[in-house]
Structure 1
Amino acid sequence: MLINANAAACQPIDGHLAALAGGRVACSEFKYRRGIEIFGEGEDAEYVYQITSGAVRTYKMLPDGRRQINAFHLQGDMFGFENGITHRFSADALVETHVRIIKRGSILNAMQSRVVSTKTLICYVTQNLQHAEDHMLLLGRKTALERVAAFLLEMDERLNHPPMIVLMNRRDIADYLGITLETVSRAFSVLRDEALLRFDGNTQRRLELLDRQVLAKFDA
């Protein structure tokens, strides 16, 4: 869905996208305001997306009205790959987000006869399968405190261990971890009281991890 998004000329592709297509695909760059839908569940999966700035959540609405977030996509990430013709999840922007949009067919055409592309695609798919398996384990076997600790370590790793992590809101975290908003807040309080993290500011969305090694023990 490209409604309420501003299009611009695409910059040279990079990262996973360049490795897959060899720089031989045409793309457009769109800007989505916070909360704007990028595509909806059940829509035709015509495009692949790469984030140049911002963040995106992909999710599914359950029959009882609850929302399950299956992934957060950050700068440099690609999303929108499907094994069928329609999207299994919806996607929207967590903050103002810029994405490159490429026709899926263009990538497949560019990949033909490129062994390096095949290897890159296998690696990329394997990484996504590993994330899905880790998320399934997190939802099915870990306590609430272990889930929050695992989430913090995941974000820290993906952001290359920044001095300060800027998180999404607590509702998004709860819907990703499969727990309640109140449970997320209690877990953060426990980790703060254990001197494993420190909040910066009143919103409690910016935090510093004080002891990654001890925090990892909750995720053992």
Structure 2
Amino acid sequence: MRILELPIEYEFNNQKSYLYPSLIVKDNDLTLVDTGYPGFLPLIEHEILKNGFTISQLKQIIITHYDDDHIGSLYEFKQKYPWIQVISSAIEAKYICGAEKSERLVQAEQMLEQMTGEAADFGNWFVQQLNNLQHAAVDQTVQDGDMILDNQCKIIATPGHTSGHISLYFPAIKAVVTGDAAVAENGQLIVANPQFCLNLEQAEHSLNKVKNLGAKKYFCYHGGNISVNSTVI
């Protein structure tokens, strides 16, 4: 088993930005972790093909949590490749499939009430962005401690950024896919967007939880991967 980083370049507010979905390679099968913003399907397809794989090898998509930059293209993947199985925590599954309004949308609507001027313009755009997300069915739900991918991947509950956020730990290769439980900045792991965390105290606890797994490599959706030589960063 190995994990590849898929650097996705895009523009946001006229600035070049990157996201780093992870591609888990096990035997001849692929598992994608998170799907970028809406419209990112071709960009991710290109990266998968560039690494020498075919899309027919993509069997599963794991969603770490419900945010527009993580689930944005999930519906497109399921429509184009209906065999793909979607995995998430039970909490996030309710929002991904549309059974309940997402925590992020509730938060955004509440924050918008306090905004004025340019901040309100952004707030309105963000609420609309969340309202426009298309829902997709979740095929398998997981919880803390579950082992998936032939018992080679352990689900780590990392709430805080959202209530049902999960990260993925691979003991055999000492690697963690963090989602937004941690972002890479200046060679360090830090809390992702503290101002948007639904519970900052939980987010800080989850950050320490992934730091203390004893991993040698952390694959961060924001900031890319970090290799470490110690158990605590």
TM-score (norm 2): 0.29
Structure with bigger strand share is 2
Structure with bigger helix share is 1
The higher radius of gyration belongs to: 1
TM-score (norm 1): 0.30
